[in-house]
Amino acid sequence: MEEIVFHHTLPIQLRFNDVDKFGHVNNTVYFSFYDLGKTEYFASVCPGVDWEKMGIVVVHIEADFVKQIFASDHIAVQTAVSQIGTKSFHLIQRVIDTTTNEIKCICKSVMVTFDLEKHESIPLTKEWIEAICKYEGRDLRK
C-alpha cells in the first residue's frame, strides 16, 4: 500500500469533558476530532460548496486506537483522501501527538456525496474531483 502523505493538519484543543474518569480521552471523542478534520479539510479544498444542497455522509467508518491521549497532550488531526470513486471517496485520518509525532489513532472512512434536497446519493462533481486530486498531488480516481 502506498504511504499516505498528509497535507492537511488541524490542531485540536482538548476540553475538560474530553477526558474520562480513567484520565485519558474517551474513545468516543476521537470521532468528533475526525469530524472537525473533515470539515476543515473540505472548507480548504472545496470552498464555495453550497452545503445547504449538497453534503457528504459517512457510510462506513473504522478506527484503530493505537495509544492513549491524556489531557496534557498536544494533538492534531490529519486528513487525506486516498481514493475517489463515482459517488464515494475514502478518507484516511489520524490523530497525532504534535510534540512527539506519535500516532494515537487511525481512522478510515468511506464518504458519499449526497443531495440534501432529494435525499439520495449523487456523483462527485468534476470540480470536487479535480480540487481533491490537485490538493493531494496525485490522481486518486480508481
| DSSP string for the chain | -PPPP--EEEEE---GGGB-TTSBB-GGGHHHHHHHHHHHHHHHHSTT--TTTEEEEEEEEEEEE-S--BTT--EEEEEEEEEE-SSEEEEEEEEEETTT--EEEEEEEEEEEEETTTTEE-PPPHHHHHHHHHHHTS--B-
Q: Report if residue 115 sits inside a domain.
A: yes
Look at the chain and report how many structural domains it folds into: 1
Residue 79 lies in a domain: yes
Question: Domain residues for 25?
Answer: 6-134
Does some domain include residue 104?
yes
- Asked whether residue 65 is domain-assigned, the answer is yes
Is a pLDDT exceeding 80 seen at residue 1? no
**142 within some domain:** no
pTM of the full structure? 0.93
| pLDDT per residue as tens digits for the range 79-107 | 999 999 999 999 999 999 999 999 999 99
CATH code of the domain covering residue 80: 3.10.129.10
23-39 pLDDT tens trace: 999 999 999 999 999 99
pLDDT, average across residues 39-54: 86
Q: What is the pLDDT of residue 142?
A: 81
